[in-house]
Homo-oligomer: A and B are copies of this chain.
Amino acid sequence: MVHKTGTGRTTKQAFSSRPTIKDVAAKCGVHPSTVSRALSPAMSHLVAPDVAKRIRAAAAALGYQVNVAAAGLRTGRSGLIGVLAPDIADPGFPPILSGVTETLGAEGYATIVVDVGTDCSREQEIVDRLIARGVDGLVLATVTLNDPVVGHCLAASIPVVLVNRTDAGRRLSAVVTDDEAGMRLAVEHLVGLGHIRIGHIAGPQNVSTGALRRAGFKAAAARAGLSAHSIMIEISRAYTREEGRLAALRLLDRKLAPTAIVAANDLLALGIYDALSERGLNCPADVSVVGHNDMPYVDMLSPPLTTVRIAQRKMGNQAARLLLDQIADPTAHRKRLVLEPSLIVRTSTVPPKR
């Protein structure tokens, strides 16, 4: 007769499995709901002070921590925020991320960071997965100008804040820097040094920073009195050092090469340095270079890079705050914060030769 009842199953939960609210309740001889109330700041006024104290003591003794996932199931809030990053390995991004997690962490939220890479279809899927995980909000640092993911998020009516990059329709809240102002600073600096043939290596034109900085470059050049044929623009396909190198080569190989180049991004500027040494040219003697972002350690390059500094950490902080506001009041209208950039002059820019 095989009457062996399930073995090992009876262990129930002995082991070192985490204590639950029931364990605390049992230890105190009260109902779980009382424990829940005692431990919730918002509800603790409903339980007798001495009982509450006893419960808190028991909870501490047992090492009890509320199961956030279980609580979230009931309350509908997971305390999770999804962050989509274009490329974590880009040194320009971590400061933004720091800012986001700092502000969010202070409010008890944890962040799930996903490195999207280039693949745009993946982006949609990633957002869906995060929503399935029950995130309370999303921070997107990846959107392209006409990104389908924007409509997708709107349809899901989930709080979203864009950071660094914005969408064409401006349908979502965003924290960005003034891309046009940044380029104006760069161009005015170069014109002030005496440059009259200036090149620009633009970023991908389907992301706002690429398009806006290019427009800003053109506007600033015109404003500074440079004619249309004294500026030249090459568009890179990605914000990478290699793409920057390729675009810079195209610029340098023109009949009338520029005496200064403004990059839409520091990584592109690194590529310019590569291209220059490849062509046997010297920066800044032959060509001045201006970057954008002031990512960490560009002051250690040879030569130290003149670049447009943007307040990345602050950008992250403010994006997080905007998101928190939006979670607190989902009906609130979308907002747009624009941070002012500043120019950090180092030694990659000098007056043109003779």
| Chain A contacts to B: CB under 8 angstroms | 15-16, 18, 65-70, 72-73, 78-80, 88-89, 91, 94-95, 97-98, 101, 105, 110-115, 128-134, 155-157, 270, 273, 296-297, 300-303
Pairwise interchain contact A134-B91, C-beta atoms closer than 8 A? no
A72 to B80, CA, bound (A): 15
Copies of the chain in the assembly: 2
A69 to B134, CA, bound (A): 7
- Closest B residue to A270 by beta carbon equals B300
A178 to B110, CA, bound (A): 33
4 closest cross-chain pairs (CB), A and B: A302-B302, A65-B132, A89-B94, A88-B94
- Min Cβ gap A272→B in Å is 11
Pairwise interchain contact B133-A69, C-beta atoms closer than 8 A? yes
- Min Cβ gap A221→B in Å is 28
Interface of A, secondary structure class, is: mixed
- Assuming A88-B98, A94-B94, is B16 touching A157 (CB within 8 A)? yes
A79 to B78, CA, bound (A): 14
- Assuming A88-B94, A115-B98, is B300 touching A128 (CB within 8 A)? no
> Which residues from B are CB-within-8-Å of A98?
88-89, 115
> Which residues from B are CB-within-8-Å of A15?
157
- Closest B residue to A73 by beta carbon equals B70
A297 to B131, CA, bound (A): 36
Q: Which of A15, A157, A297, A302 has the most CB of B within 10 A?
A: A297
- Closest B residue to A313 by beta carbon equals B89
Of the candidates B69, B72, B95, B301, the one whose C-beta lies within 8 Å of that of A302 is: B301
Pairwise interchain contact B95-A89, C-beta atoms closer than 8 A? yes
> Which residues from B are CB-within-8-Å of A300?
270, 273, 301-302
Pairwise interchain contact B115-A112, C-beta atoms closer than 8 A? no
Of the candidates B69, B88, B110, B297, the one whose C-beta lies within 8 Å of that of A69 is: B69
Pairwise interchain contact B66-A69, C-beta atoms closer than 8 A? no
Pairwise interchain contact B113-A111, C-beta atoms closer than 8 A? yes
- Assuming A98-B89, A155-B16, is B110 touching A133 (CB within 8 A)? yes
Pairwise interchain contact B113-A65, C-beta atoms closer than 8 A? no
